[in-house]
Structure 1
């Protein structure tokens, strides 16, 4: 697969997974489908969902090459303690803005959900990141995490919906 094909397929895959996660979350909750969250997750996946992780994994490989001491531990610590907190904040804020919320409402939702989502990320996605960084070739890491991402998108969508209902 050429680099151009990869740069097109990864964002499209992320878009489809984001939409599917939003739809599945709404169906599981027994709610009528709303287009705003589906659009928000799809747009986020298309623009950021594959692009940012692709470059993050490239940076991680450069910072912690296989011939360094304890590369897996270093990669995992960097990703879990630096990348994950930033990405969760960025995702929550961006999704709210893509749904049409103003800055103040997006920040409020971020403040309400951030620690819950970040703690769940550390609890549930750490094992998948270990598998990803230990066994998956670098060029397939985003694709692997996309497969995991369907469940994660459903979780985040349900937490965001629960938060909106409380408001």
Structure 2
């Protein structure tokens, strides 16, 4: 079997994906985001071998997939439109850096907080538990995000066409989604004791690796 024959189904699938991005952009991006969120949680559950999670929890995976599809994708789709409207649709370096700055200053904290709040609420956590998770997890998660995500965003805004940015960011963000899933659920034991998670980017540490590469952002 020739290489062209082997890759033909992949090329057809890619062509169809591009067509769907034109025909039904939001729905296609939402389904992509949901599928990658599911993959991220499956990986996270393989990594997280704590006694509280000895087996795969399909409900947990479904919650993450629902969040990615129903909330994260539509919200970021609208946010990217705002960035293009306010800062321009150009892919030059100056415009790209302005978008990175606006995204990280204005959107990173609300989107990260929304992730913790929504997923905790779907788990049935109380208002007090949700507040505690935000207090202990939000700032360390944001510092990790700011350490690795701006570079990925800059490349995406600078070189990737608008309709493909969600796919690129979702693929790059698979590692970040895995990280968020682990952070979100490591405190899920229904006890009155919620140990504070370690800071993923402490002051005295070396720079964190470039992977996982940033906040899940869907256009």
Q: Report the TM-score when normalising by structure 1.
A: 0.89
Q: Report the more deviating stretch, 81-90 or 97-106.
A: 97-106
- Looking at structure 1, the residues matched to 28 and 59 of structure 2 have their Cα atoms a distance apart, in angstroms, of 24
Do residues 28 (structure 1) and 47 (structure 2) align?
yes
- 8 Å contact 2:93–2:158 — kept in the other structure? no
- Alignment length, in residue pairs? 167
Please, what is the CA RMSD of the aligned residues? 2.1
- Cα offset, 1:132, TM superposition: 0.8
- 8 Å contact 1:60–1:75 — kept in the other structure? yes
Q: Match for 1:5 among 24, 39, 42?
A: 24
Relative to its length, the structure with more helix (as a share) is 1
Task: Mark the structure with the bigger radius of gyration.
Answer: 2
Unaligned runs of 5+ residues in structure 2 are 1-18, 195-219
Unaligned runs of 5+ residues in structure 1 are none
Do residues 52 (structure 1) and 75 (structure 2) align?
yes
Aligned positions of 1:11-160 closer than 5 A: 11-30=30-49, 31-65=54-88, 66=90, 70-160=94-184
- Looking at structure 2, the residues matched to 68 and 125 of structure 1 have their Cα atoms a distance apart, in angstroms, of 19
Superposed CA offset, 1:112-144 (max 9, x none): 100011111111212111111111111211221
- Cα offset, 1:4, TM superposition: 4.4
1:106 to 1:136, Cα distance in 2 relative to 1, 3 A: same
- Looking at structure 2, the residues matched to 112 and 136 of structure 1 have their Cα atoms a distance apart, in angstroms, of 35
- Looking at structure 2, the residues matched to 86 and 7 of structure 1 have their Cα atoms a distance apart, in angstroms, of 21
Superposed CA offset, 1:47-88 (max 9, x none): 012111111111111111139993222111101111111111
Q: Report the TM-score when normalising by structure 2.
A: 0.70
- 8 Å contact 2:91–2:157 — kept in the other structure? no
- Looking at structure 1, the residues matched to 145 and 116 of structure 2 have their Cα atoms a distance apart, in angstroms, of 13
- Looking at structure 2, the residues matched to 26 and 68 of structure 1 have their Cα atoms a distance apart, in angstroms, of 40
